Copies of this chain bind each other. A is one copy, B any other.
């Protein structure tokens, strides 16, 4: 139906268990990785980034699409972390994996918890990344922003909540 830079849209036919035919539009997405950088100080490192679907900036954890088929997920998360906030993680742990919009899109987002952070040179790519602004918040303040509706980005909401539950012993 549509072939784009990031997404492709297909019209797909499925058969339900009772034999009924179902027609659905499905967006194919390459998948994404995200890293929640948690400093020893207890602060998380976020970026403020322009998002076209909303026509405004949003506060998010560093993330990016999977560009290369078969790319190592932790390596991809490390690449985005370096590019967007200039940090390297001594530990990059899988935190949670989820699907963003199961009704119409096959996107999977792999969220990592990045700790033991040290500075590295960073090089932002593309117009959105070039205008990123870095924001540091305590995990408490970031979660307060989730409850207040000031942070609404899905991977960021998932990452912050998961980090809190995990820190509390799950």
Residues of A within 8 A of B (CB): 1-2, 4-7, 9, 11-12, 14, 16-18, 20, 22-27, 29, 32, 50-55, 58, 60, 65, 96-108, 127-128, 130-131, 143, 146-147, 149, 152-154, 157-158, 161-162, 164-165, 168, 170
- Judged by DSSP, the binding face of A is mixed
Q: Which residue of B lies closest to A16 (CB)?
A: B127
| A to B CB contacts below 8 Å, 8 in the list | A16-B130, A22-B50, A26-B53, A29-B104, A54-B102, A98-B154, A158-B158, A161-B165
CB neighbours of A16 from chain B (8 A): 50, 127-128, 130-131
CB neighbours of A18 from chain B (8 A): 127, 130-131
Q: Which residue of B lies closest to A13 (CB)?
A: B52
Q: Name 19 extra pairs, CB < 8 A, besides A24-B52, A53-B104, A65-B103.
A: A2-B2, A5-B25, A6-B104, A7-B27, A9-B9, A14-B50, A16-B50, A17-B50, A18-B127, A51-B103, A54-B99, A58-B99, A58-B102, A97-B149, A98-B152, A100-B101, A101-B101, A102-B154, A157-B158
